[in-house]
A and B are shown apart, each in its own frame.
Chain A
């Protein structure tokens, strides 16, 4: 177990460094002058030289790389030129919207996907199974941002039950803030829930075919107990592996849905930074998004190893 985890931690560290290198390479090594990009075509030579110095662009690439890695290790993401604030505090501010949104979406994903998958597997080949498969096929095809727009039409504009966009702030109006996240979280969760339902169904069908479940059935165990207590915990192992991967897509989806619902989260921050050419913010936010996704995926992986002894013995399947 320790050895398996040590291996995963090493892989995690490698992934971090590679991700940091990729972000560094895109903004620092590719052709194009970041200072020119930030100041625009009309910038004076003096202003360009000053900004290049501020960004450290007058230093050699390897010095800048080491500086960037060192800053990252200390949690220093630099200072935004448009906001005049440290990127770290900007990120913390916006994380108060994005993190709850992603978590709510993840909870909805699991709440929709796992029961649907179990129900479909329990009624394999019958109407309920086919209906769940058909709905999941639709869930996979409908773009989250279009679903968001349709939900705004139905619940925001039509029925007026939930806000059509905007965010009142947690401190000012906690209930309103939570309400503002419900529709975007649902729009995010439908596609991921559909994938999860399909994986859960497949995993359940496999465990329901194992000798121990047949044995339990032969001994007269009730169906509900067999499904939820015996088959599901064993089927959850591949399901958990998928959830780790889904986190990345939930975060990417959150960037889009924050725009649909005009939520002041990390996605809005980075999109605005892209249009305002604030490369320091772009780089910092993307690093935070990537590190967040990788860390969560790692946690899920470690849980996965705790639950499945086979993994510890053989490494990843």
Chain B
């Protein structure tokens, strides 16, 4: 069952990434091709998933939306992980006052979910994908800081890490050469789960109109458009929602599947959040 979950998850993520890559070289129609006469059409041989209120091909938008989701997810989680791991590793390595101070900071950052920081950033700099990415990255920092700190504190107690300390290596060198490699698995698991959350957050922000701006394709944006036509063309709300759900499901299955392969002591360090 667990193996099956991991395989299914890898398959789903693979499909989303493949869609994103495909959209770079080929889409059934150009992303910005408008056909007012053929607007709001149902699925047909020419438009497999139908057209939206501008007559744009839905399949094209779904493929191109995968690109936005993957790019935003990778950059936002990557940036959040880079900062968060540094903060968490510093807190665990230094201990004492610095540890306490960094963790209080991360507590304060936890009070800012991605939507809230996005609102703050947007109010000053305007809406856009970059600002959405920054907001999602900010949300990821305390998550990775806490996970890294908990896992690193355990790693510092391991024999091979203590041996390195006894050999006279500096705390920075021990962190780099021994602590981080020991906890890398935990970070990969947390990264997979956060990637799913980032896709959810990007979609939510774009739905609210403070993420990707038209004509940039985004699944969340498509859902916002679809809601206007809910009475006449309810299927418009189906495809983007399914795409988001399957992408997130894939990340969660991969995260859970990989977590089961971790050392049981490190397994409980992973944080499972929902947005």
> Which residues in A have some Cβ–Cβ distance to B below 8 Å?
11, 14-15, 18-19, 22-23, 26-27, 30, 32, 34, 37, 130, 137-138, 140-146, 149-150, 152-153, 157, 191-192, 194-195, 198-199, 245-246, 248-249, 251-253, 255-256, 259-260, 270-271, 273-275, 277, 279, 282, 286, 289-290, 293-294, 297
> Which residues in B have some Cβ–Cβ distance to A below 8 Å?
1, 104-105, 107-116, 119-125, 196, 200, 203-204, 207-210, 220, 223, 226-227, 230-231, 234, 237, 240-241, 244-246, 248-249, 252-253, 256, 272-275
Within 8 Å by CB of B120, from A14, A157, A282, A293, lies A282
> A199 and B208 in contact (CB under 8 A), knowing A153-B234, A274-B123, A286-B120?
no
What are 12 A-B pairs at a CB distance below 8 A?
A18-B104, A19-B112, A37-B124, A141-B249, A142-B245, A143-B245, A145-B203, A146-B241, A149-B227, A153-B230, A245-B273, A279-B124
Chain B residues closer than 8 Å to A246, beta-carbon distance = 274
Question: Distance in Å from the Cβ of B240 to the closest Cβ of chain A?
Answer: 8
B contact patch SS: helix
> A153 and B252 in contact (CB under 8 A), knowing A26-B120, A199-B272, A249-B275?
no
Closest to B150 in A: A317
B237 and A26 within 8 A (CB): no
Chain A residues closer than 8 Å to B223, beta-carbon distance = 145-146, 149
Interface centre among B124, B223, B226 (most CB of A within 10 A): B124
Within 8 Å by CB of B119, from A22, A143, A152, A270, lies A270
A248 and B113 within 8 A (CB): yes
Chain A residues closer than 8 Å to B208, beta-carbon distance = 255-256, 259, 271
Closest to A282 in B: B123
Chain B residues closer than 8 Å to A294, beta-carbon distance = 111
> A34 and B111 in contact (CB under 8 A), knowing A141-B246, A194-B274, A290-B116?
no
Chain A residues closer than 8 Å to B240, beta-carbon distance = 146
A132 to B227, CA, bound (A): 30
A1 to B228, CA, bound (A): 55
Closest to B1 in A: A130
B237 and A140 within 8 A (CB): no
B108 and A19 within 8 A (CB): yes
A138 to B244, CA, bound (A): 12
B124 and A149 within 8 A (CB): no
B272 and A195 within 8 A (CB): yes
> A255 and B115 in contact (CB under 8 A), knowing A23-B120, A137-B252, A140-B274?
yes
A291 to B196, CA, bound (A): 27
A22 to B110, CA, bound (A): 12
A5 to B230, CA, bound (A): 51
A153 and B237 within 8 A (CB): yes
A150 to B115, CA, bound (A): 22
A156 to B111, CA, bound (A): 33
A248 to B124, CA, bound (A): 23
A11 and B115 within 8 A (CB): no
B115 and A252 within 8 A (CB): yes
> A143 and B241 in contact (CB under 8 A), knowing A149-B226, A259-B208?
yes
> A245 and B120 in contact (CB under 8 A), knowing A11-B104, A143-B204, A153-B237?
no
A150 to B274, CA, bound (A): 19
Interface centre among B119, B226, B237, B253 (most CB of A within 10 A): B119
> A198 and B272 in contact (CB under 8 A), knowing A18-B104, A137-B253?
yes
B234 and A30 within 8 A (CB): no
> A143 and B244 in contact (CB under 8 A), knowing A27-B123, A32-B125, A256-B207?
yes
Closest to B237 in A: A149
Chain A residues closer than 8 Å to B245, beta-carbon distance = 138, 141-143, 146
A145 and B196 within 8 A (CB): no
> A271 and B204 in contact (CB under 8 A), knowing A18-B105, A141-B245, A195-B274?
no
A155 to B57, CA, bound (A): 29
A263 to B207, CA, bound (A): 16
Chain A residues closer than 8 Å to B210, beta-carbon distance = 271, 274
A274 and B119 within 8 A (CB): yes
B237 and A279 within 8 A (CB): no
Closest to B100 in A: A11
> A138 and B249 in contact (CB under 8 A), knowing A22-B112, A26-B120?
yes
Chain B residues closer than 8 Å to A27, beta-carbon distance = 120, 123-124
Chain B residues closer than 8 Å to A248, beta-carbon distance = 110-111, 113
A34 and B124 within 8 A (CB): yes
A15 and B107 within 8 A (CB): yes
